[in-house]
Structure 1
Amino acid sequence: MRRIVRWTGWCAAYAVGLVLLLGAGAWTWWQGEPRASGTGTNALWARHQWVGEAHTGAEYRAFGRLLAQNRITDVYFHAGPVESDGTVPAVKYRNAPALLKALRTYAPGVRAHAYLGQIRKVDGHGVIEIGDARVQERILRTDAALLDLGFDGIHYDFEPIYPDDTAFLRLLERTRDLAHARGGLVSAALEQPTLADGLQPVFKALAPRVGAGHYPPRPTERYLRDVADRADQVAIMTYDTEMPTQALAGWHFAHHTEEVLRLIGDRTTVFLGVPTYRPVTGWAENLEVALRGVRRGVDALPRPPRRPFGVGVYADWTTRPADWARYRANWLPPGT
């Protein structure tokens, strides 16, 4: 028994020492100033009220100035959520024509995307099953109606998406064909990629053997490339790190930035999601840490991606003037 207690104590001490060593290493790494500056290609997730409610000319002008000042090139206007049958009642986006007209006047060159999403059915829970052929047809009809109104693209945020989800890939293919025929774009929001693809089968094996299981819905390298080959833009939801220190949160953003841009930066436009909300957990995460982490990730690349890239600000309804000032100071290229 004494030997067991001693052995347990040594294991605990070793684990604590390893954690402290990793923390110290992360802190030392975090002290270096990023060399890379940000870019002038950036996205913003915008609240539903822009398409669902009327606004004044002054509000549209102010929004246009905000987009120009912060070098926002793409705005994902929430136009859903999608109903379980794949439709979106037109009353939900009744203000879209006025919004799109105002953007052409006050924010020329900014692309307005209709942002559609819903909770996928998994193990009997959730709202929508996009693998159902009838549901997918109605989603496409909804897309066509929004593109015909004047939106520049369709942005999907269906969750969860597992790395064996062929239905989502098929929907992307069909949406791309539909959007391109109208001169539009298709984009997709995805969770952060796996830290190690080899762990996904382990999680799946340990999950309850029902439906898709409950293993983390993280895209593998192969699935991320499959999505990138079907989408004009991929936005990675890099936030919600739940890290206890700024160094570890910064490492999280840097790691995913480097990996995602290395994997798909030559295939599609990439936006790395950065938060302006106040997280419930992971108190070290904030906008400055995220932006610095993204820049450190760009530093680690052997060369810049061939396609445009930037950050996606989540979200316009949580971003205060002070946050925009931090964003400009920590991200936009000098002289902008």
Structure 2
Amino acid sequence: MRGVLKRIGWLAVYVLGLVALVFAGAWVWWQPEPEARGTEVNALWARHQWVGEEHTEDEYRAFARLLRENRITDVYFHAGPFEPNGSVPPAKYRNAGKLIAAMRRHAPDVRPQAYLGQIRKVDGYGLVDLDDRAVRETVLKTDMIFLDLGFAGIHYDFEPIYHDDQGFLTLLDETRALTRPRGRLLSVAIEQLTTVDALQPVYKALLPRGWGRAHYPPRPTRDFLTKIADRADQVAIMTYDVGLPTRSLAGLHFAWHTEQTLRLIGDRTTVFIGVPTYRPSMDWAEDLPGALRGVRRGLDALDRPPARPYGVGVYADWTTSPAEWARYRATWLPRAPANVGG
């Protein structure tokens, strides 16, 4: 027994040593200031009240000014969620027409998109069954309502989406058939890449699917994310909620996903890396400055810029303080070119 306890003790010391090395390595990696700056192509998720409630002209004007100051090119206005049959009750978007008219007056260069989604029905969990053709047809009819109202595109956020979800890919094909002939956008919010694709069959065999951390995690494989990118004009990666204990590890998470995602699909579609302006209740290490620094470190790791536009997606307008917007401008937006010559 004494020998067994001794071996367990040495194993614990070994494991703790490895953990300490990981923490120390991440801290050392985190110290250098990133060289890359950000871009002037960025997105913002916006609260439902813009679509559902009345606003004054001053409120519209102030919002447009915020978008201009922060180089936001695309706003995902929450307009749902879908009902289980794929519809959205008109009362939920009663202010949408006025919003679109105000955006045309005050922010004509910004693309307002209808942000629509729901909990995807998987193995008995969830609300919307994307495998049901009748549900998808109703979703498409709902999309047409928002396109007719003047939205520049449809932004889908169905969760969870697993890497073999053919119903979701079919919906993207059908939605693209609506948006592209009309010169509108199709954009998708999706979880970050799997770290190791080969683990997905293991998860599938051992864990149930469904919604919640105790279930098989809904992460796209590289092949599945590429299929999404080939169907969508924009892909917004929900990189936040990292659940890591230090800012350096959280930053490493943002850097890795920025580099890997842009290498994989940055030549195929516009990519927005999601960054948070809220503090998750169980996460003391994740914040906007750390996320932006991590994204910039990921850009530093690229050997060339992606062929398509890229930027960050700020989540969300209702949680972003003036101080955070100021930090965003200072650390992310490209610096103005220096004045040279007479």
Tell me, yes or no, if the aligned pair for 1:236 and 1:272 is still in contact at 8 Å. Answer: yes
Q: Which amino acid aligns with 2:180?
A: H
Q: Name the CA distance, whole Å, in 1 between partners of 2:129 and 2:304.
A: 40
Matches within 5 A, 1:14-25: 14-25=14-25
- For residue 218 of structure 1, what is the aligned residue in structure 2? 219
Q: Which amino acid aligns with 1:112?
A: P
Matches within 5 A, 1:1-336: 1-208=1-208, 214-335=215-336
Tell me, yes or no, if the aligned pair for 1:43 and 1:312 is still in contact at 8 Å. Answer: yes
Please state how far the C-alpha of 1:123 moved relative to its aligned partner.
Answer: 2.7
Q: Name the CA distance, whole Å, in 2 between partners of 1:214 and 1:238.
A: 19
Tell me, yes or no, if the aligned pair for 2:34 and 2:296 is still in contact at 8 Å. Answer: yes
For structure 2, which runs of at least 5 residues remain unmatched after alignment?
338-342
TM, length-normalised to structure 2: 0.96
Residue 209 to residue 76, structure 1, CA distance change in 2 (3 Å):
closer
Please state how far the C-alpha of 1:98 moved relative to its aligned partner.
Answer: 0.6
Q: Name the CA distance, whole Å, in 1 between partners of 2:209 and 2:45.
A: 36
Tell me, yes or no, if the aligned pair for 2:122 and 2:209 is still in contact at 8 Å. Answer: no
Residue 89 to residue 109, structure 1, CA distance change in 2 (3 Å):
same
SS in 2 for 1:317: helix
Q: Name the CA distance, whole Å, in 2 between partners of 1:227 and 1:130.
A: 15
- For residue 340 of structure 2, what is the aligned residue in structure 1? none
Q: Name the CA distance, whole Å, in 2 between partners of 1:7 and 1:106.
A: 69
Q: Name the CA distance, whole Å, in 2 between partners of 1:122 and 1:219.
A: 15
Q: Name the CA distance, whole Å, in 1 between partners of 2:263 and 2:216.
A: 25
Please state how far the C-alpha of 1:214 moved relative to its aligned partner.
Answer: 3.3
Please state how far the C-alpha of 1:124 moved relative to its aligned partner.
Answer: 1.6
For structure 1, which runs of at least 5 residues remain unmatched after alignment?
none
Q: Name the CA distance, whole Å, in 2 between partners of 1:207 and 1:31.
A: 38
Q: Name the CA distance, whole Å, in 2 between partners of 1:318 and 1:246.
A: 20
Tell me, yes or no, if the aligned pair for 1:277 and 1:318 is still in contact at 8 Å. Answer: yes
The C-alpha deviation readout for 1:29-51, integer Å capped at 9, x for no partner, is: 00011010000000000000001
Q: Name the CA distance, whole Å, in 2 between partners of 1:296 and 1:85.
A: 43
Please state how far the C-alpha of 1:208 moved relative to its aligned partner.
Answer: 4.0
Q: Name the CA distance, whole Å, in 1 between partners of 2:208 and 2:329.
A: 46
Q: Which amino acid aligns with 2:132?
A: D
Please state how far the C-alpha of 1:69 moved relative to its aligned partner.
Answer: 0.2
The C-alpha deviation readout for 1:31-79, integer Å capped at 9, x for no partner, is: 0110100000000000000010010000000000000000000000000
SS in 2 for 1:273: strand
The C-alpha deviation readout for 1:79-117, integer Å capped at 9, x for no partner, is: 000000000112211111111111111111100000001
The C-alpha deviation readout for 1:133-162, integer Å capped at 9, x for no partner, is: 000000000001110110000000000000
Q: Which amino acid aligns with 1:235?
A: A
SS in 1 for 2:317: coil
Q: Which amino acid aligns with 1:78?
A: H
Please state how far the C-alpha of 1:209 moved relative to its aligned partner.
Answer: 8.6
Tell me, yes or no, if the aligned pair for 1:204 and 1:214 is still in contact at 8 Å. Answer: no
Please state how far the C-alpha of 1:126 moved relative to its aligned partner.
Answer: 1.2
